[in-house]
Amino acid sequence: MQPINFPNIQSLILYAYKDLHHATYLMLHIEHPDLFKQWLSDNVDNFTTSDCQAESTAINIAFTAPGLNKLNLSQHTYQQFSREFKEGIATTKRSQVLGDEASNSPEKWNWGGPSTPVIDVLLLCYADSDSALKAQISHITTEIEAYTTQLQELSTHSLFERKEHFGFKDGLSQPKIAGIHTNAKENNTLAPGELLLGQESGYGTTTPFPHDNENFKHFGKDGSYLVFRQLEQDVKGFWHYLDKQNTEEDNKVYLAAKMVGRWPNGAPISLFPTQEPDHLNPAIANDFNYSDDPQGNLCPMASHIRRTNPRATDLGLSNVKDNIASVNHHRIIRRGRPYGKPLHKHLSPTAMMKADDSEPRGLHFLCFNADLSRQFEFIQQTWVNNEKFNGLYNDLDPLLGTRPKEHDISGGDFTISQKPMRHKLKNIPQFVTTKGGAYFFMPSISALKQLANSNQ
């Protein structure tokens, strides 16, 4: 394994800035490439790198394919980027793969779609206070406003106990990376090339990446692809649907926990199948791998966390080790944050159902991976939006599934195969709608320097 070059890697790829509770994402269109390059050159040392702990603020930068082209990346180097990245997230082919159809379709997006302006650059700004974040953004926008147009300023909202808007603790399970995270469990440890370009992947090879050009040496190395999707959540719809299935509060929370695969406080239902424990002991938050639950009696096969990371679920391979190894070729590192005000401060389901508020809220879903098609897109297509996932018949991901046919709901079941009787929820509506999206590349510091100084 090659050593990890921490000072060359933008920090968000490796760390989530958990102590920086305030974040805003700026999407920019470059109007004057030469002036923007000058700004990049002057500021390249200001981007937060992985060799030091981010203190009160952090900033990182990523580019779309059009953005890289605008800054004169050589065609030779550009062509070595993956097809998915170059085509972008909003093509017809990608929409089919990702389930971005009907109400999710890019034509309807607020940004990143065919009828909205082309995004070139993404600036990701983080701070430990609202005032520090505002000061940071105001400083940057004053500097760059003469040569960029700001297309979006997407704010985020930290929710009670690090939960997402449906009311479930998020950010509990992430893969660990060899050479970066110590004391990680072997089953949950990925080769660095699953995250960083130019490193050895889980197959023992190097995923193709932009390299080897006179002016752009190893351009892709130590960078990573960043998926950004704005996913709007119908929180009231979610709890009203569950409430209609049963009237007692416990039951709607129980059904929701079965859908997620964890209780609201994050406790895995694989370990606590009938009742939420008072506290989640973080040491056991990931102490399960479904190998003792082949039928999904504890954690349903269709639940969100089981199908986005089936762990040791028997996917038809001969033993547990092979199943885990196979699943680990399709992992992502999540960096998303909620946006919009919560329906209720403590996210109590009953209070959220009663709240009278239709402001938009959801998740700015961000994730890193080295191979968009084998990692993020595979999860979305083969696991999330697959009605027949691992022996199921008509069950999409109960949180995310795209259900385009409003009157003939396909994939609208959720099967809870518990003993003594299997239970099925029917006609699940769509709770999450895609409102924007783009594929970015987050380059290394050395690649940023090459880009800033290119004059082809």
| Residue of the chain from 305, 324, 327, 445 that contacts ligand HEM (CB under 6 A) | 305
320 close to 291: Cβ distance less than 8 angstroms = yes
User: Residue 290 is encoded by which pair of tokens?
Assistant: 């479904």
Residue type, 437: G
Which part of the chain contacts ligand HEM (CB under 6 A), choosing from 54-62, 131-139, 171-179, 198-206? 171-179
Among 61, 123, 327, 399, binds ligand HEM (CB under 6 A): 399
**Least separation, in Å, of the C-beta of 262 and ligand HEM?**
5
Q: Which tokens go with 404? A: 């385009």
CA dihedral 159, 298, 378, 196 (to 10 degrees): 60
| Closer Cβ to ligand HEM, 250 or 287, answer by number | 287
Residue 233 as a binder of ligand HEM (CB under 6 A): the answer is yes
69, 53 in Cβ contact below 8 A?
A: no
Residues 146-165, interacting with ligand HEM (CB under 6 A): 164
Q: Which is nearer to ligand HEM, 166 or 368 (CB)?
A: 166
Residue of 33, 171, 237, 391 that binds ligand HEM (CB under 6 A): 171
Q: Using the CB atoms, write b or e for 312-348: b if 16+ within 10 Å.
A: bbbeeeeebeebbeebbbbbbbbbbbbbbebbbeebb
Give me the helices (H) in 99-205, please: 130-144
Residue type present at position 152: Q
Site for ligand HEM in 242-261 (CB under 6 A): 260
CB 195 within 8 A of CB 333: yes
CB of 380 to ligand HEM, least distance (A): 5
- Alpha carbon distances (Å) from 39 to 35, 58, 145, 211, 315: 6, 18, 11, 25, 50
Number of residues that bind ligand HEM (CB under 6 A): 25
Query: Which residue lies nearer to ligand HEM by CB, 219 or 238?
Result: 238
- The length of the chain in residues reads 456
Among 168, 209, 339, 368, binds ligand HEM (CB under 6 A): 168
Stretch that binds ligand HEM, among 114-122, 131-139, 291-299, 357-365 (CB under 6 A): 357-365
DSSP H or E run through 285: none
Comparison of 49 and 434: residue with beta carbon closer to ligand HEM: 434
Which residues bind to ligand HEM, rule: CB under 6 A?
Answer: 164, 166, 168, 170-173, 231, 233, 260, 262, 304-305, 308-309, 332, 362-363, 365, 379-380, 384, 399-400, 432
